[in-house]
């Protein structure tokens, strides 16, 4: 019932001038009528070129962060309305790199998530524990706290308006991946918590796994019952790798 979502995260890689050709190559390589929805989250500067290359092609575009504010004197910020107007339909909130390098806490992540919804963007809420937290036996508590605080005040009229990405911090960009069993277990824990937080919609929310997903491990991860797709950094920069993951979904 949940359509798999394969979501790339380009982080701060590639140039706007490279993005259009890359997307054209992706469109030519994607399976026709594939099962998975494909999304690429790019720097806001890349959206215009990608919208041009996309035409009415079957790929969604997203941002990697948004301002908590709707508009105003906030130099350097990019609002949800700007992303939407530029062609994005999704946006990542609370990525661990923003939590770590920009000190974004759960409260700010929550305000950003609500801002995304206000502007018609589907938020992808990232949650995940550090290695120290996992070693201390706190992984579940950390993830559930991030989930509960990140979703505070959210009202869904339809569950497809939210995506949650479980991304163990120690697996992001490291080449280390959670085992399929551990990733499934945490995703089931998230699903269970969603039943309390968003009654009636928990079954519709897509839960992604993120953390060094690549062609070699995607099949096993994506076969888990509560893993509905992937949030993919490094491997999403390469068309061949990304298409292989899309085919595995
Ligand atoms: C990410 O950027 O969210 C991510 C999971 O990166 P990588 O796939 O490179 O670990």
> Residue 158 pLDDT more than 80?
no
The pLDDT of residue 33: 87
Residues 6+ apart with CB under 8 A from 2: 203, 204, 206, 228
Distance (Å) from CA 135 to ligand 1 centroid: 21
Is the shortest distance between the CB of 8 and ligand 1 below 6 Å?
no
Distance (Å) from CA 175 to ligand 1 centroid: 9
Q: Which of 49, 47, 53 is nearest to 17 (CA)?
A: 49
Q: What is the mean pLDDT of residues 40-64?
A: 97
**DSSP secondary structure, 97-162, as one string:** HHHHHS---HHHHHHHHHHHHHTTPEEEEEE---HHHHHTT-HHHHHHHHHHHHTTT---SSGGG-
- The residue whose C-alpha atom lies closest to atom 2 belonging to ligand 1 is 233
Is 95 a catalytic site residue?
Answer: yes
Indicate the range of 68-77, 111-120, 154-163, 179-188 predicted with least confidence: 154-163
> Residue 173 pLDDT more than 70?
yes
The pLDDT of residue 248: 96
Q: What is the mean pLDDT of residues 58-85?
A: 98
The pLDDT of residue 39: 98
The pLDDT of residue 157: 74
- Computed over every residue of the chain, the mean pLDDT equals 96
Which pTM was predicted?
A: 0.97
The pLDDT of residue 159: 55
Is the shortest distance between the CB of 221 and ligand 1 below 6 Å?
no
Distance (Å) from CA 73 to ligand 1 centroid: 32
The pLDDT of residue 155: 86
Integer Cα distance of 46 and 29 in angstroms: 21
139 near 129, Cβ under 8 Å?
yes
> Residue 241 pLDDT more than 70?
yes
Is 167 a catalytic site residue?
Answer: yes
pLDDT tier at 11 (50, 70, 90 boundaries)?
Answer: very high
Is the shortest distance between the CB of 64 and ligand 1 below 6 Å?
no
Catalytic residue among 97, 104, 129, 167: 167
Angle of CA points 100, 104, 110, to nearest 5°: 135
184-212 as b/e, with b when 16 or more CB fall inside 10 Å? bbbbebbbebbeebbeebbebbbbbbbbb
The pLDDT of residue 156: 80
The pLDDT of residue 160: 60
- The residue whose C-alpha atom lies closest to atom 4 belonging to ligand 1 is 233
Distance (Å) from CA 236 to ligand 1 centroid: 9
- The residue whose C-alpha atom lies closest to atom 7 belonging to ligand 1 is 233
pLDDT digit string, tens, across residues 174-219: 999 999 999 999 999 999 999 999 988 999 999 999 999 999 999 9
Is the shortest distance between the CB of 232 and ligand 1 below 6 Å?
yes
pLDDT digit string, tens, across residues 111-134: 999 999 999 999 999 999 999 999
For the chain, the maximum distance between any two Cα atoms, rounded to a whole number of angstroms, is 49
Mutate to test the pocket of ligand 1, among 183, 208, 231 (most ligand atoms within 8 A of CB): 231
The residue written with tokens 């399976």 in the block is 31
């Amino acid at each position: 019932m949940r359509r798999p979502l394969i979501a790339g995260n380009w982080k701060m890689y590639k140039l706007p001038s490279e993005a259009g050709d890359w997307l054209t190559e992706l469109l030519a390589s994607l399976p026709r009528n594939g099962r998975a929805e494909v999304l690429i989250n790019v720097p806001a500067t890349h959206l215009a070129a990608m919208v041009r290359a996309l035409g009415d092609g079957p790929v969604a575009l997203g941002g990697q962060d948004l301002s908590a504010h709707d508009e105003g004197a906030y130099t350097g910020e990019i609002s949800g309305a700007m992303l939407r107007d530029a062609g994005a339909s999704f946006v990542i909130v609370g990525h661990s790199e923003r939590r770590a390098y920009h000190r974004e806490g759960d409260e700010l992540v929550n305000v950003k998530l609500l801002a995304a919804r206000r502007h018609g963007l589907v938020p992808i809420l990232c949650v995940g524990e550090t290695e120290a937290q996992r070693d201390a036996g706190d992984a579940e508590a950390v993830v559930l706290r991030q989930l509960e605080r990140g979703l505070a005040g959210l009202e869904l009229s339809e569950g497809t308006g939210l995506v949650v990405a479980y991304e163990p911090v120690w697996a992001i960009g490291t080449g280390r991946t959670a085992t399929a069993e551990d990733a499934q277990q945490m995703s089931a824990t998230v699903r269970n918590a969603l039943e309390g937080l968003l009654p009636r919609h928990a079954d519709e929310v897509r839960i992604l796994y993120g953390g060094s997903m690549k062609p070699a491990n995607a099949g096993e991860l994506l076969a888990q019952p509560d893993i509905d797709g992937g949030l993919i950094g490094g491997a999403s920069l390469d068309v061949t790798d990304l298409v292989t993951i899309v085919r595995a979904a």
